[in-house]
């Protein structure tokens, strides 16, 4: 039995997403639940990165994962296999989650039972960047095959992310990808952004990323 | 001097996008201009594929390229280097093009001078699938690193595409990608879809794709 369920979330009725996002954050803080909003393009390795992250942190925290997807439950099934509790949010075609939709997911999930909840946002570098979900921190994944020019083309996503994971570094032999150029482009948009180079497939770099995450979770939940 | 300009397009004022899309298509047919709407995720290789496509067809057709991007002119610069005429459409943050926005681009570009115009849509597997641009045909690119499960997760995009290009087949050695599974998943959504396996980097498979395209252009413009 896979331990997940599917809920259909509806477009938020709230006029001000930012106000609603602040309320979500206040509740998370009161509940001592750290919410990470994880964004990326389709196929950048969000789910595989999550599996590594859960493996590294599951003995320290009670972890839940909310998988937002337009119309499938592929990811929730995969995550459920790790033993973490998982829920699938169906956005009904919507290309992003806003704070009201995130709240529906958190409430349905019973998020106050968890120390650490990950919201795996819809695979999209455009729309999710425009909506504050109310998360404690935003992280995004850029994978090597996508190219080092993405900060130039999707600047808002890189601007709103507290942390950027450069994934699939194990595939560098077959792609032209300039590490220095990508760091420079990200830092120009967002000087305080944390950047980690990882391979979710081989596990390389996962320690540095989960060390950062552990520090952020502990600071939020203290 | 790079031969391209940048225009800012505005959100369409038309109530019915489908009606506007049909008008765009009628005008293109009258002008004997074939418009290809090319969609994909960020980093799937749209621009590199276009360069190969232009190289294969430039002696037969007068080709123009409209590059839709949120806020950069990286791609228009690249395309201008091929010698094809190119225009950059800035969507002002919008995550897709609708038919009215496409018409603004076509009119500004003087599209009736061309036999074949490519609209490189915003890199996004969600929103562009929801809006008929008025194009003669829709094509999309799925690259090997994105994974063979994408038809399960972004079904509408695969449903509205007349043709799917599976790109970056030169990188298969470093990714698990099941050709048969992806074809089966696409055909289940869209039985008449044409599927070509290509490497825009090495040129493999480009002939089959441009043969299909040549047939479609000639049928449209006859």
> Over the stretch B162-183, which tens digit does the pLDDT of each residue have?
999 999 999 999 999 999 999 9
Return the H-helix or E-strand segment holding A39.
strand A34-40
Which of A23, A162, A157 lies closest to A99 in space, CA to CA? A23
- Residue B138 CB contacts under 8 Å (≥ 6 apart), including other chains: B36, B37, B39, B160, B161, B162, B163
Average pLDDT, chain B: 90
Alpha helices in B32-133 (DSSP H): 46-57, 74-80, 99-109
ipTM above 0.85, yes or no: no
* Long-range Cβ pairs for the range B14-18 (8 Å, 24+): B14/B98, B14/B99, B14/B100, B17/B98, B17/B99, B17/B100, B17/B131, B17/B132, B18/B99, B18/B132
* Subunit contact A171:B70, Cβ cutoff 8 A: no
Confidence of residue B24 (pLDDT cuts 50, 70, 90): very high
Residue B12 confidence (pLDDT) above 60: no
pLDDT of B71? 67
Q: Angle, to 10 degrees, between the axis of helix B99-109 and the axis of helix B17-31?
A: 30
Chain B neighbors of A171, CB-CB under 8 A: 145, 171, 174-175
Instruction: Identify the residue with better confidence: A75 or B202.
Output: B202
Give yes or no for B140 touching A (CB within 8 A): no
Confidence of residue B1 (pLDDT cuts 50, 70, 90): very low
Q: Which among A74, A124, A155 has CB closest to B149?
A: A74
Share of chain B above pLDDT 90, in %: 68
User: Span B107-112, mean pLDDT?
Assistant: 90
pLDDT of B188? 97
Instruction: Identify the residue with better confidence: B9 or A22.
Output: A22
**CA pair distance B122, A103, nearest whole angstrom:** 29
- Give me the numbers of helices (H) and strands (E) for chain A, helices first please: 8, 8
Min mean pLDDT across A18-27, A183-192, B34-43, B83-92 is at B83-92
CA angle B38/B56/B220 to nearest 5° reads: 55
Tokens of A194: 């944390």
* Subunit contact A150:B72, Cβ cutoff 8 A: no
Shortest alpha-carbon distance between residue B148 and chain A (Å):
9
User: Span B9-16, mean pLDDT?
Assistant: 58
pLDDT of A76? 77
DSSP string, A40-74: E-TTSSHHHHHHHHHHHHTTTS-EEEEEEESS--H
* Subunit contact B72:A170, Cβ cutoff 8 A: no
Shortest alpha-carbon distance between residue B29 and chain A (Å):
32
Tokens of A181: 């150029």
pLDDT means over runs of 10, chain A (222 residues):
54 71 96 97 92 95 89 76 86 83 91 94 90 97 96 94 98 94 98 98 97 98 94
Chain A neighbors of B75, CB-CB under 8 A: 153
Number of CB pairs, chain A paired with chain B, less than 8 A apart: 109
Min mean pLDDT across A87-101, A206-220, B24-38, B103-117 is at A87-101
* Subunit contact A127:B127, Cβ cutoff 8 A: yes
Tokens of A216: 């952020």
Min mean pLDDT across A84-88, A115-119, B41-45, B218-222 is at A84-88
């Amino acid at each position: 039995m896979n331990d997940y369920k599917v809920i259909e979330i509806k477009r938020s009725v709230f006029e001000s997403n930012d106000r609603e996002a602040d309320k979500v954050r206040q509740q998370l803080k009161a509940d001592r639940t750290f919410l990470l909003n994880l964004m990326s393009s389709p196929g950048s390795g969000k789910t595989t990165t999550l599996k590594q992250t859960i493996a590294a942190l599951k003995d320290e925290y009670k972890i839940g994962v909310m998988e937002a997807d337009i119309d499938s439950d592929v990811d929730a099934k995969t995550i459920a296999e790790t033993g973490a509790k998982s829920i699938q949010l169906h956005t009904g075609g919507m290309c992003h989650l806003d704070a009201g939709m995130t709240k529906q997911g958190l409430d349905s999930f019973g998020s106050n039972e968890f120390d650490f909840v990950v919201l795996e946002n819809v695979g999209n570098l455009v729309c999710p960047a425009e909506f504050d979900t109310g998360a404690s921190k935003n992280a995004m994944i850029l994978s090597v095959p996508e190219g080092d020019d993405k900060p130039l083309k999707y600047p808002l996503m890189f601007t709103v992310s507290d942390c950027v994971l450069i994934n699939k570094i194990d595939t560098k032999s077959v792609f032209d990808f300039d590490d220095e150029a990508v760091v420079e482009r990200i830092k120009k948009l967002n000087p305080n952004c944390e950047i980690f180079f990882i391979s979710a497939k081989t596990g390389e770099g996962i320690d540095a990323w989960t060390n950062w995450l552990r520090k952020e979770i502990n600071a939020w939940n203290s």
